[in-house]
Amino acid sequence: MRSERPRLSVIGTGYLGATHAVCMVELGYDVIGLDIDEAKIERLRAGEIPFFEPGLPELLAKHIDGGRLRFTTSYPEVAEFADVHFVCVGTPQRKGELAADMTYVDAAFSSLAPHLTRKVLVVGKSTVPAGTAARMESLLLDLAPNKDVELAWNPEFLREGFAVEDTLRPDRLVFGVHSAWAEQQLRAAFAPVLETGTPAVVTDFATAELVKVAANSFLATKISFINAMAEVCEVTGADVTKLAEAIGHDARIGRRFLNAGLGFGGGCLPKDIRAFIARAGELGVDQAVSFLREVDEINLRRRVRTVEIGLDLVDGSYHGTHVAVLGAAFKPNSDDVRDSPALDVAASIGRRGGTVVIYDPHAMQNARRMHPELTYVESLIEAVTGADVIMLLTEWDEFRAMSPERIGALVAHRNLVDGRNVLDPVQWRAAGWLYRALGRP
């Protein structure tokens, strides 16, 4: 006999899908996860998460043998089991273009639809261009044997490093629906979350699609704004950290995301704003988001500037220098190196003749796959020993806590580029370091 709660499927078990599947079981649902990658499914069945996300391995271990979570490669099995299907596949940037690659979304809907023989709700969670939901709705109606199948769109707002918390206790839920029944099903699928008072914004497909890209565009703009101010600070002698502190006290602006430094990266913000630019152009409203091109350019300029600052510390040439790069992931508490500013800077220095030695607490394997030409070591101490310059490029707690005296005893020269503005320049300079940062005197 079925429980009152709907049974759920999650299509795609990458970062979003695996997190969603495991967390929904933690909330009390019966869940089946599907992926066409058999190796990934086998790892999940064995209780292994194929990426680093704090707290998620423990939740998977807690539930994998409990009977409420299983993984499969079979669409018929998923269709028979679930009442609500969450499509959580990726939408990467197309090679050589700004637009999003919709191959995985199209394939997921096309593969699931022919097996839907009863009325169910299919929910898109992937970040997609405006108009995708309407297209997927038509596809479902064309391919599903049961024509009462409905679609909803429920964008995700996960922050890497905090994905478990963001799934279990989100700050809002967005339901893009076309019927009261679809809304009711979504409310049933998120009942434990809604019972805690989490607000639900119920809207149409187009608005639900735009929420995620609009939110990411705003965050990217705020980050690039303070980095643009850092460029001004560098030529005026001002301190961007104090500037951010001062304007952050204005309640209309707020202090969050006003952290000047190397800029943003990862698998979401860069590709989402680029896809938004591309889709706006297709819709004839490219001027409305033309500012996002400059947001992207400012972000990329920070990487170039970081390389230049390091160059100043090694007498204008990286040839023959040992450069210790601290961090490879695009942010701390993640092993994601997609569009990582840290890894981009490291590779650029390597191309200029520097001997780049990288250490990251969790992203080494992914970084090595992307840039095998660089050198990787297993500890902070190994990375900095004999270094001519240290570049702190991902703000892991281990790097924030470094002792300038202890590290100073290991390096060849006390040169430091603080690419994230997280160290105390007074403390480091007092220990004899030549300290440089973005947007600070």
Residues assigned a catalytic role: 268
Residue reference for tokens 């000047």: 260
Other C-beta atoms closer than 10 Å to the C-beta of 441 total 12
Q: Which two tokens stand for residue 414?
A: 């006390």
DSSP letters of 151-180?
EEE----PPTT-HHHHHHS-S-EEEE-SSH
> What's the CA gap between 26 and 158, in Å, rounded?
17
Other C-beta atoms closer than 10 Å to the C-beta of 436 total 20
- 391, 394, 396, 400 alpha-carbon torsion, rounded to 10°: 40
Among residues 166, 160, 198, 205, the alpha carbon closest in space to that of 182 is found at 205
Beta-carbon contacts of 3 under 8 Å, excluding residues fewer than 6 positions away, are 30
> What's the CA gap between 16 and 78, in Å, rounded?
18
Q: Indicate the helix (H) or strand (E) that contains 44.
A: helix 38-45
Helices (H) and strands (E) in the chain, counts: 19, 14
Q: What 8-state DSSP symbol labels residue 66?
A: S
The SS3 assignment for 30 reads: coil
Among residues 350, 398, 393, 396, the alpha carbon closest in space to that of 375 is found at 350
Q: Which residues pair with 72 in a beta bridge?
A: 34
Beta-carbon contacts of 440 under 8 Å, excluding residues fewer than 6 positions away, are 233, 239, 240, 241, 421, 425
Residue reference for tokens 């992307």: 370
Among residues 38, 29, 39, the alpha carbon closest in space to that of 8 is found at 29
∠ CA 352-355-358 to the nearest 5 degrees?
Answer: 110
